[in-house]
């Protein structure tokens, strides 16, 4: 539903979520799998735009106190106006941004200073194929945390976390200054706990959206889903 954004966020907070990642729907989401693509498509059909989303977030901090990260793609934000976007989301209480398709060089030379101006954190993604040199550079530029993609694929794919653990242990042994959060393919208590054994936390997206799609009530569905992960 178009106007359920804050209801979903409050339900997540009430049932144990420490951070909320809120996706900005986009017609060509490069890093997202079928579930999030479909969800984003429905949101766009329902009339969701950046302007609408920012409007929905105006009362955010009257009921949501956990950190909120916006995840999206750079093209629609550039069309909206990059500085305008940063100014308005910061004023609404957003804490940080993830743009998977924003190159390091452009961030470092052009967009990073604007993000910093409005007090927003910026989170970069790394994968098992990311070189140590690039990881160190990302660690220097990042604030908030580093998003460790569990493998080079889209969201929602099943993962063998015994293989992922080698990669996560490498990141842990690098003693990065930023916390590391793991995402992509985390869907249940087992994969969540496995990811967290080598990282500071884990991010669940597709599995939660699936639960919302099949549940009749946002509060009850969210409560049941998070209890299955955290209890």
Catalytic residue positions, numbered:
21, 32
The verdict on residue 69 lying in a domain is: yes
**Mean pLDDT over residues 209-224, rounded?**
92
The verdict on residue 183 lying in a domain is: yes
3-state secondary structure at position 209: helix
The verdict on residue 91 lying in a domain is: yes
The verdict on residue 226 lying in a domain is: no
Question: Which of 122, 149, 183 delimits the end of a domain?
Answer: 122
Q: What is the pTM of this model?
A: 0.88
CA distance 80 to 25: 14
Are both 66 and 35 inside the same structural domain?
A: yes
Q: How confident is the model at residue 231 (pLDDT cuts 50, 70, 90)?
A: confident
Are both 43 and 144 inside the same structural domain?
A: no
Total domain count for the chain? Answer: 2
3-state secondary structure at position 52: helix
The verdict on residue 134 lying in a domain is: yes
CA distance 20 to 10: 10
Are both 109 and 148 inside the same structural domain?
A: no
The verdict on residue 218 lying in a domain is: no
Question: Which of 122, 147, 177 delimits the end of a domain?
Answer: 122
* CATH code where residue 74 lies: 3.20.20.70
Are both 55 and 96 inside the same structural domain?
A: yes
Cα angle 62, 96, 142 (rounded to 5 degrees) comes to: 155
Which range marks the domain in which residue 160 is found? Answer: 125-203
Give the pLDDT confidence of 168-201 residue by residue, as tens digits: 999 999 999 999 999 988 889 998 998 899 899 9
The verdict on residue 27 lying in a domain is: yes
Give the pLDDT confidence of 11-49 residue by residue, as tens digits: 999 999 999 999 998 766 565 556 666 665 666 576 789
The verdict on residue 231 lying in a domain is: no
**CB-side neighbour CA atoms (13 Å) of 55:** 8
Are both 83 and 28 inside the same structural domain?
A: yes
Give the pLDDT confidence of 50-67 residue by residue, as tens digits: 999 999 999 999 999 999
Question: Which of 122, 137, 166 delimits the end of a domain?
Answer: 122
Q: In Å, how far from its chain's centre is CA 157?
A: 16
Are both 28 and 65 inside the same structural domain?
A: yes
């Amino acid at each position: 539903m178009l106007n359920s954004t804050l209801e979903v966020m409050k339900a997540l907070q009430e049932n144990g979520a420490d951070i909320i990642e809120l996706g900005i729907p986009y017609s060509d989401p490069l890093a997202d799998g079928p579930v999030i693509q479909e969800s984003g498509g429905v949101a766009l059909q329902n009339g969701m735009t950046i302007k609408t989303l920012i409007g929905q977030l105006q009362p955010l901090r009257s009921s949501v106190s956990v950190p909120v990260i916006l995840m999206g793609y750079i093209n629609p934000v550039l069309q909206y106006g990059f500085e305008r976007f940063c100014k308005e989301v910061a004023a609404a209480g957003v804490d940080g941004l993830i743009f998977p398709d924003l190159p390091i060089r452009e961030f470092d030379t052009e967009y990073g200073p604007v993000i910093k101006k409005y007090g927003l954190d910026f989170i970069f993604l790394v994968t098992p194929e990311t070189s140590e040199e690039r990881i160190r550079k990302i660690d220097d530029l990042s604030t908030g945390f580093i998003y460790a993609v569990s493998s080079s694929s889209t969201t929602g794919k099943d993962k063998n976390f015994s293989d992922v653990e080698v990669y996560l242990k490498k990141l842990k042994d690098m003693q990065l200054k930023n916390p590391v959060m793991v995402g992509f393919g985390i869907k249940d208590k087992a994969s969540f706990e496995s990811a967290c054994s080598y990282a500071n936390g884990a991010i669940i997206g597709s599995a939660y959206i699936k639960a919302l799609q099949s549940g009749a009530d946002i509060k009850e569905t969210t409560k049941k889903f998070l209890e299955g992960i955290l209890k």
